[in-house]
Amino acid sequence: AYYENVIVSKPDPAVALITLNRPNALNALNAAHFNDISSALREADQDPATGAMVITGSDKAFAAGADIKEMKDKTFAEAYTSNYLANWEVIAKLRKPVIAAVSGYAHCHTSLGNVAIYVTLVGKLGGGLELALQADILLAAPSAKLGQPEINLGVIPGGGGTQRLARLIGKSRTMEMVLTGRIIDAEEAERWGLVNRVVREDSGVVDAAIKLAKEVASKGRVAVTAGKEAVNAAFELSLSEGLRFERRLFHSLFATKDQKEGMTAFAEKRKPEWTHS
Ligand code: HXC
């Protein structure tokens, strides 16, 4: 499908690359842009050929947050009755892994893997960071700048920034980001565990994200889906419920051909051939 604000490509037959493309607004996320992002991600999630997705922005900005000009005149009644931002969670509901490559600005709401959550993390601010925070793995370019600057606009993060960030980097660091709006750089984000790592290689953060996505996509899909679901359960369940959920999922994988193939291949000292079944 063609999208006005998003470029979709296949750098590898098993990897979908979704690039936020609203350059004259630094990938600020207006309604049309966000609809394009969520449709492109959902399409890739449902495509049987795709094993993992990478989301990224431009060198200058993964995503500079929600579109302030679009939000400016919204009333409480409009925001409340339309449940503004309720569709934000679409990324968190995807079944396949999403890697965000963040360069430039990423306001913290983004989390798709390189965008406003600033996910091929060149940078994400506000909604950008919150978008990125919904990705499963975050890689940052050295230029990435992440922040939740909403406090400077008279509001607070509305895309999960206060909740996901607090779980990721702890209460006091989240408080500092949310209450001061301070933008942190890639090094600090790495130290705080906000991103997996800063990609310093010349080939860049998007290439590194694609490489990682290819590796994930080369595994058995049933097990990858189970692994993502089990890790995500750690954020929702108590430890004993989570351990029980994990063990049941583990048991269920003994019903798959991929488990028989994986363990047989190990015993026969050869590479497994996954059938994703
Ligand atoms: C609308 C934006 C925008 C935004 C940038 N632009 N960010 N438009 N919404 N969030 C537009 C500018 O108006 C300008 O358009 C063009 O993009 C280039 O931006 P500049 O400001 O000229 O660039 P620069 O000087 O390099 O500064 C970059 C920046 C700054 C530091 C990222 O643009 C900035 O502070 N942006 C706002 C970031 C922010 O507060 N984000 C949080 C939003 S609230 P024109 O037409 O003037 O040239 C939020 C809530 C999320 O995200 C809720 C859940 C999703």
150 is catalytic: yes
Of 163, 151, 107, residue with least CA distance to 132: 107
Helix (H, G, I), strand (E, B) or coil at 266: helix
Residue nearest ligand 1's atom 24 by CA: 26
242 is catalytic: no
CA of 25 to the centre of ligand 1 (A): 7
Task: Give residues (CB < 6 A) around ligand 1.
Answer: 25-26, 28, 64-69, 85, 88, 105, 107, 109, 125-127, 130, 149-150, 153, 158-159
Q: Which residue among 26, 165, 180 is best mutated to probe the pocket of ligand 1, counting the most ligand atoms within 8 A of its Cβ? A: 26
Give bridge partners of residue 100 from the DSSP assignment.
55, 138
Question: Which positions ≥6 away from 16 have C-beta within 8 Å?
Answer: 8, 9, 10, 40, 44, 47, 50, 52, 53, 54
Q: Please list the pLDDT of the chain residue by residue as tens digits (277 residues).
A: 789 999 999 999 999 999 999 988 888 888 888 889 999 999 999 999 999 999 999 888 888 888 999 999 999 999 999 988 887 777 788 999 999 999 888 764 444 332 333 334 345 678 888 888 889 999 999 999 999 999 999 999 988 899 999 999 999 999 999 999 999 999 999 999 999 999 999 999 999 999 999 999 999 999 999 999 999 999 999 999 999 999 999 999 999 999 999 999 999 999 999 999 9
Q: Classify residue 166 by burial, with Cβ atoms within 10 Å: 0-12, 13-18, 19+.
A: middle
pLDDT digits (tens, 9 = 90+) for 169-202: 999 999 999 999 999 999 999 999 999 999 999 9
What's the token pair of residue 148?
Answer: 């939740």
CB 120, CB 27: distance < 8 Å? no
Other CB atoms within a 10 A radius of the CB of residue 32 amount to 14
* Look-up of token digits 């049933």: 222
- Taking the C-alpha atoms of residue 18 and residue 213, their distance in angstroms, rounded to an integer, is 12
CB 114, CB 62: distance < 8 Å? yes
The DSSP call for residue 254 is: G
- ipTM, two decimals, is 0.96
This prediction's pTM: 0.91
246 is catalytic: no
- Taking the C-alpha atoms of residue 134 and residue 17, their distance in angstroms, rounded to an integer, is 16
